[in-house]
Structure 1
Amino acid sequence: MGISVLALLFTASSFWWLNARRGRLKCFPPHSFAAKVSPDSILLRFPFVFYNPGAQPLVIENLSMKFDAAQGREMKWHGVRTTLMAARGAEDKMDLPAVFFVPGRSAQQLFLEFKGEGFESILAPKEFNVRLRVKLGHRKKWSLLRKFPLHLERVRHPGSYAAYSNSPLVLTEAEVVEIEAALNQAATPSKKRNEK
């Protein structure tokens, strides 16, 4: 009798593990990003890979990003792109944010774009700690999905949408001054620039 009960429990738990278990969504830090700074906003695009190790699909309702240095300001999920950076002359199609799912035991790569306003005052050529937050379909509250460093010291042409490596970069003082000037120029409205 005891062996048959153990066999039944093993069978039931194996079935649950293989077919009914909900996994914990994972996301990996990006190796690259694209950025554009304008007087009224900042756009950031990342190639995120989402992984669901469980058997059941996970529904992602919404995403957002927060810079630790931005006093709680958040970048909202702005869209899904077809690539990190389109080749010159190629179409750079954008879909609006929409609920999506990651099937069980699978990974999915998406090029996600985030938009934030009021970040001009904190932009600097340095590393920022960023928190990617997620609202899952089966949860009532937002949760932290991933923390990762964002290397804005790589941004050399902030006024144009361009792709950059997200690896650390050691800058000289002259490079820091040059990048700060470019960031300030991109974040300053053209009317103010013309008055100077």
Structure 2
Amino acid sequence: MLFMMAVADQNASSSISGAGLLSICALLFTIASFWWLNARQGRLESWEPHSFAAIVHGSMVRLRLPLILHNTGAKPIVVQDLRLTFPDEPASHLPLLWMSSPSRLQPGPDEEPELPAGFIVAGREAQRLFIEFEAPFSGLVPEARDYKVRIQVRVGHRKGWRSLLTFTLRTTNIIHPDRYTICNNAPLELTREDRRKADAALLELLEGQEKSASAKSETKRRDSWNDEGNADTDL
């Protein structure tokens, strides 16, 4: 009899322990589910754009990209700033800064440019934006080749610049660098003739910049000689 009572008490204790364990597991699952659905801090994701708009005019480089920004978490993310860099190029080249947020990819004279302003990407949502980057004196004149490009972002919940997207920018598809037009960023999209035209246009642009720099240098040299001659005359 005593043995049967002891066994019954042990079974009752095991049942209570099992019920308590199930209650704890259910509570932990509820807390974890609430955190995942309402409080989890995610990250921004983006993908390589299929097209871009570009113009290379003198020492000014301007790029317009269609970007998809996806927030993987539940909490909203505040985007404070964006910039574009060429990580494999010399460090002396300045990054292209976020200059405007146009409403479309195709540039046109009837546009009303919007100055950069912070925005919010809600939790588990995605936004498509057109971001225009520019560097008036970047020191980089794109050649007809592939470039490694990195877009960096500053967000409200982190300090400093963070990498958002790294992709290949195919400037070989820029046929008319002095016109602000849309270009395809797909690989092997241009024919051999188109590539020849693109190479010739970029070469002409580089030669024009070299001639302009040489002319400016010659003008400064002549001005210097004239100043020295005037000084000798005054003496």
Do they superpose with TM above 0.5? yes
In structure 2, the residue matched to 1:184 is 206
Taking only the aligned residue pairs, the percentage that are identical comes to: 36
Which of 91, 106, 114 is the equivalent residue of 1:85? Answer: 106
Instruction: Name whichever structure is richer in strand by fraction.
Output: 1
User: SS where residue 133 of structure 2 aligns?
Assistant: strand
User: SS where residue 74 of structure 2 aligns?
Assistant: coil
In structure 1, the residue matched to 2:36 is 17
Q: Deviations over 1:148-173 (max 9, x none)?
A: 00010111111111000001236468
State which drifts further: 154-163 or 179-188.
179-188
RMSD across aligned C-alpha pairs, in angstroms?
2.6
In structure 1, the residue matched to 2:231 is none
In structure 2, the residue matched to 1:76 is 97
Q: How many residues align?
A: 193
Pairwise CA distance, 1:70: 3.0
Alignment of 1:120-159 (within 5 A): 121-159=140-178
Which of 91, 110, 114 is the equivalent residue of 2:129? Answer: 110
In structure 1, the residue matched to 2:47 is 28
TM (norm. structure 1) is 0.87
**Which portions of structure 1, spanning 4 or more consecutive aligned residues, are displaced by more than 6 angstroms?**
188-193
Pairwise CA distance, 1:187: 5.3
Give the letter aligned to residue 109 of structure 1. Answer: R
In structure 2, the residue matched to 1:42 is 61
Where do 5+ consecutive residues of structure 1 fail to align?
none
Greater RCO (CA < 8 Å, at least 6 residues apart): 1
User: SS where residue 104 of structure 1 aligns?
Assistant: coil
* Contact kept in structure 2, 1:128 and 1:152, CA below 8 Å: yes
Give the letter aligned to residue 32 of structure 1. Answer: S
Where do 5+ consecutive residues of structure 2 fail to align?
1-19, 219-235
